[in-house]
A and B are shown apart, each in its own frame.
Chain A
Amino acid sequence: MIRAEQQHDWLKNLLNQAEDDSVKNNSSWLHQTRGDAKHAVMNLPPLNRKQEAWRYNRIDKLFKKNFQLLADNIDFKKPDIYNCLLPNFDSYRLVFVNGCYAGQLSDTKQVPDKVTIESLHNAINLAPKQVSDWFRHSDRENNQLFSMLNTALLNDGAVIHIGDHIELDKPIEIIYLNTNFLNKFNSADNDGIMTQIRNIISLGVAAKVTLIERFIGIDKGQYFHNNFSDIVLAEGALLKHYRVQDESREAYHLSSLQVSQQKNSHYYSTNLAFGGAWSKTNINVDFAEQDAECILNGLYVVGDQQLTDFHLDVRHSVPACTSREQFKGILYGKGRAVFDGHILVEKQAQHSDAQLINNNLLLTRDAEVDTKPQLEIYADDVKCGHGTSVGQIDPEQLFYMRSRGLSETTAYKLLCLGFAGEIIDSIDEKKLSEYVTKKLVQTLDSRNQDGDHIRFLG
């Protein structure tokens, strides 16, 4: 791991840049929060491989990059967005370009009463007190370097609040378009833009909504997208949360989600990761009250020059909650993945029901995955289980399909789609699942074009 001083310098450089852009927003609590976070960042211990979160995921490369903060939104021609939209898909839409809210690309017309769907800046202008109430730090993120950095460098994000008993008529979509304008921002001392997004999402009692987040690298090139979402579900609320990470193949991507669930609330999420040179997603779920349920599904597709990492941490600290985690990985070329699924069941959390599954399909000999389920159980009357596997395509299956006239490439593709199907099927929005299937096919096809041959591990 890179030396502590270098990490320190790297952070300092970013924080100094943030001084320069001196918060465009004059909200005093935000100013204060950012200031506190800056102090916290500089006082946190440096990252090292003894820390569980960084054991298999080296970030040396990241600390060698000179990222720049982007103060102003750059004019982004409207038509470009249309390539990125799901066809005929109706949603309340927030669009961010390099971390800055792009109002002219967004669509928040006719948001019903008791519903807030705004950029953070707009929300602060409209209701500063309200936003400061929603804005919170859980203890869990206080010692997380990148989450604190996110607060310290914060430029914008989404504020979503769904009032009690409201079932929203259509999904909310947040689209993050990232571009380095074809390396316009890359030079000897500049490796692209670093963006911070902070989302504050809260659902009132029995509120129901679908939230789709899509991260899109619209051209080749480096940048660093650092995203943090704070999600609070009140009693009986239901959030279906779909995230598609489709950053550029050169990008750095870090997402952290902090989910807290009140009594009888439901959090159903499906996470897909296709892009990024380096990508890490942390999902922390805390059950604050009984009878809550979370389902975390995921699929990562990882090839040459890519490292994709999922870190799940679900804490059962109250009785009778249910958690289901199922993640699948398809790896090819020299792709590398890390899956770390931690479930904590505290002593008082009787009747917890927790399941963790991670299956990986390695298409090539050089692909590699570290999978680490960790069940830490202190209660005695619980139902907990886990299973992980790392396998290859079965040559018998391949032979069978080829004997029916399918090419080896098609056979591979169908088997991969079959493997991923269960995860894609957990997406309840048909247009999104179709898009994701197409994306998966494209990714598998482009792999073949790379001449990255999929011959079987023999």
Chain B
Amino acid sequence: MLEIQDLHVAVNGKAILKGIDLKVKSGEVHAIMGPNGSGKSTLAYVLAGREDYQVSSGKILLNGENLLALDTEQRAHKGVFLAMQYPVELPGVNNMMFMRESLNAMRRSRGEEEYDSVDFIKLIRAKAKQLEMDEKLLKRNVNDGFSGGEKKRNEILQMALLEPKLAILDETDSGLDIDALRIIASGVNALRDPQRSIILVTHYQRLLEYIQPDFVHVLMDGRIVRSGDKQLAYELEDKGYRWIVEEIAA
């Protein structure tokens, strides 16, 4: 279970998150919505451990353990996974090799046996097939020259491979056509599990038609200003974010 308490974060000295409280239990799917620039990606990055984001106060606990004391890779080993809004290109780094190194690093940290290349190829091919992903992408360099949709699919493939405890999907839906969205959503739904927490960051309600969230939170100007069930997403779709701003002002 993830527990965020009164989290304040600054980037380059500018306060971005201004007191976030959030509890995500195992098995739950939470959607975080909000206008551009409200701090959604910042929250996602801070959970994954980006070092240039300064946590000025607050706590993040994953199954009772203080995440803020851990390095990025240690968090990954504990099961934190971030599918990035803008997946990074790694020219010269082979996709298949990268994923094998990654999976084996996780397995080593848990004292499990590493995959050899033959077994790994079988595994990754099966996963890629589930996501209807072109195998050619496995042989290319990580995200290098991939289309927007291919990059997102590659992120979900990594997630499916690494089977995280806490998956954060930052606008995985943006830039996808409807078919790709459906495939990715079914990939995510397949990973719904009583042992797993999922945070979906999005600013459209569209994704939530395919992945039904248990809770919806609205993030504005660095604060969660409203929480509810998926009904809240429909209300936002109808009325836009201004409605909440006006309600708060009233």
B48 interface residue per 8 A CB criterion: yes
B37 interface residue per 8 A CB criterion: no
Known: A418-B90, A418-B93. Contact between A406 and B73, CB under 8 A?
Answer: yes
Known: A407-B105, A414-B98. Contact between A402 and B92, CB under 8 A?
Answer: no
* CA gap between A391 and B77 in the complex, in Å: 30
Residues of A within 8 A of B80 (CB): 403
Closest to B101 in A: A406
* CA gap between A404 and B89 in the complex, in Å: 14
Residues of A within 8 A of B75 (CB): 403
Closest to A420 in B: B92
Q: Name which of A403, A405, A410 has the most chain B CB atoms within 10 A of its CB.
A: A405
Minimal beta-carbon separation of B55 from chain A (angstroms): 16
* A-side interface size class: 20 to 34
The prevalent SS among residues of A at the interface is: helix
Residues of B within 8 A of A396 (CB): 88
Q: Do B102 and A404 touch (CB < 8 A)?
A: yes
* B-side interface size class: 20 to 34
A408 interface residue per 8 A CB criterion: yes
Residues of B within 8 A of A418 (CB): 90-93, 141
Known: A395-B52, A405-B105. Contact between A421 and B76, CB under 8 A?
Answer: no
Residues of A within 8 A of B90 (CB): 397, 400-401, 414-415, 418
Closest to B88 in A: A400
Q: Do A410 and B101 touch (CB < 8 A)?
A: yes
Residue-wise interface mask of A (373-408) relative to B, using a CB-CB cutoff of 8 A (1 in contact, 0 not): 000000000000000000000111101111111111
B82 interface residue per 8 A CB criterion: yes
Residues of A within 8 A of B49 (CB): 402-403
* CA gap between A333 and B75 in the complex, in Å: 29
Residue in contact with A402 in the complex, picked from B73, B91, B141, CB distance below 8 Å: B73
A419 interface residue per 8 A CB criterion: yes
* CA gap between A392 and B68 in the complex, in Å: 27
* CA gap between A421 and B81 in the complex, in Å: 28
* CA gap between A407 and B71 in the complex, in Å: 10
Minimal beta-carbon separation of B97 from chain A (angstroms): 8
Residues of B within 8 A of A415 (CB): 90, 92-93
Which B92-106 residues sit within 8 Å CB-CB of chain A?
Answer: 92-93, 98, 101-102, 105-106
* CA gap between A394 and B49 in the complex, in Å: 16
A-B contact count (CB 8 A): 73
* CA gap between A421 and B98 in the complex, in Å: 15
Closest to B82 in A: A403
* CA gap between A22 and B247 in the complex, in Å: 101
Known: A407-B105, A414-B101. Contact between A402 and B72, CB under 8 A?
Answer: yes
* CA gap between A421 and B76 in the complex, in Å: 27
Residue in contact with B162 in the complex, picked from A397, A405, A422, CB distance below 8 Å: A405
* CA gap between A395 and B51 in the complex, in Å: 10
Minimal beta-carbon separation of A401 from chain B (angstroms): 7
Minimal beta-carbon separation of A425 from chain B (angstroms): 10
Known: A405-B162, A418-B93, A418-B141. Contact between A399 and B101, CB under 8 A?
Answer: no
Residue in contact with B92 in the complex, picked from A406, A407, A417, CB distance below 8 Å: A417
* CA gap between A330 and B197 in the complex, in Å: 41
* CA gap between A419 and B52 in the complex, in Å: 25
Which B109-143 residues sit within 8 Å CB-CB of chain A?
Answer: 109, 141
* CA gap between A359 and B90 in the complex, in Å: 16
Minimal beta-carbon separation of B60 from chain A (angstroms): 15
Closest to B92 in A: A418
B42 interface residue per 8 A CB criterion: no
Residues of A within 8 A of B72 (CB): 399, 402-403
Residue-wise interface mask of A (239-282) relative to B, using a CB-CB cutoff of 8 A (1 in contact, 0 not): 00000000000000000000000000000000000000000000
Closest to B141 in A: A418
Q: Do A422 and B76 touch (CB < 8 A)?
A: no
* CA gap between A417 and B91 in the complex, in Å: 10
Closest to A396 in B: B88
Please, could you name 26 A-B residue pairs with CB atoms under 8 Å apart, sorted by A?
A: A394-B88, A400-B90, A402-B71, A402-B72, A403-B48, A403-B49, A403-B72, A403-B75, A403-B80, A403-B81, A404-B102, A404-B158, A405-B73, A405-B76, A405-B105, A405-B162, A406-B73, A406-B101, A406-B102, A407-B73, A410-B101, A415-B90, A418-B90, A418-B92, A418-B93, A421-B92
Q: Which B residues form the contact surface with A (CB < 8 A)?
A: 48-52, 71-73, 75-77, 80-82, 84, 87-93, 98, 101-102, 105-106, 109, 141, 158, 162
Q: Add 4 more A-B contacts to A407-B105, A414-B98 (CB < 8 A).
A: A403-B76, A405-B109, A415-B90, A417-B93
Q: List the 6 closest pairs (A to B, CB-CB), nearest first.
A: A418-B92, A400-B88, A402-B72, A405-B76, A405-B105, A404-B102
